[in-house]
């Protein structure tokens, strides 16, 4: 029984580490998404400036930049959603002992898996 508890704690630690790593990836993607949105805004201002200057080349270049930035925003949005799903899936993943024996602790399984959130 003691060995099983040790294995359970090791599995829980591993799940917490995986969830933490996925959260770091998610944070990186959020930063990239923010930067990509700034590119969209910049390209949009470039289109306006091109029209203001009556410079078709500048407008065309800014449109290409806008299309690329919008595609990047969409891609990063999908990647961020996938990263968040991986975090949720990692937190819901049962350990071997939880699927074979009942919990003996007064804490629920979800509380054991839920990492503490920074304030």
What's the confidence (pLDDT) of residue 9? 81
pLDDT tens for 4-50 read: 666 888 888 888 888 888 888 889 999 999 999 999 999 999 999 99
Provide the percentage of residues in the chain whose pLDDT is more than 70: 72
Nearest to 11 by CA among 86, 93, 117: 93
Place 110 in a pLDDT band, splitting at 50, 70 and 90: very low
> How many Cα atoms occupy the beta-carbon half-sphere of 97 within 13 Å?
16
What's the confidence (pLDDT) of residue 4? 66
- Which 3 state secondary structure label does DSSP give 115? coil
Q: Which two tokens stand for residue 68?
A: 């690329």
More confident: 6 or 79 = 79
What's the confidence (pLDDT) of residue 48? 98
What is the chain's length? 119
What's the confidence (pLDDT) of residue 1? 54
């Amino acid at each position: 029984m003691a060995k099983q508890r040790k294995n359970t704690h090791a599995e829980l630690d591993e799940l917490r580490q995986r969830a933490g790593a996925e959260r770091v990836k998610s944070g990186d993607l959020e930063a990239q998404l923010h930067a990509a949105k700034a590119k969209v805004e910049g390209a949009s201002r470039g289109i306006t400036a091109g029209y203001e200057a009556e410079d078709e080349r500048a407008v065309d270049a800014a449109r290409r930049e806008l299309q690329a930035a919008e595609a990047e925003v969409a891609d990063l949005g999908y990647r961020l959603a996938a990263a968040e799903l991986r975090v949720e899936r990692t937190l819901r993943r049962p350990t071997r002992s939880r699927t074979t024996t009942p919990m003996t602790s007064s804490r629920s399984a979800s509380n054991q898996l839920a990492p503490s959130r920074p304030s």
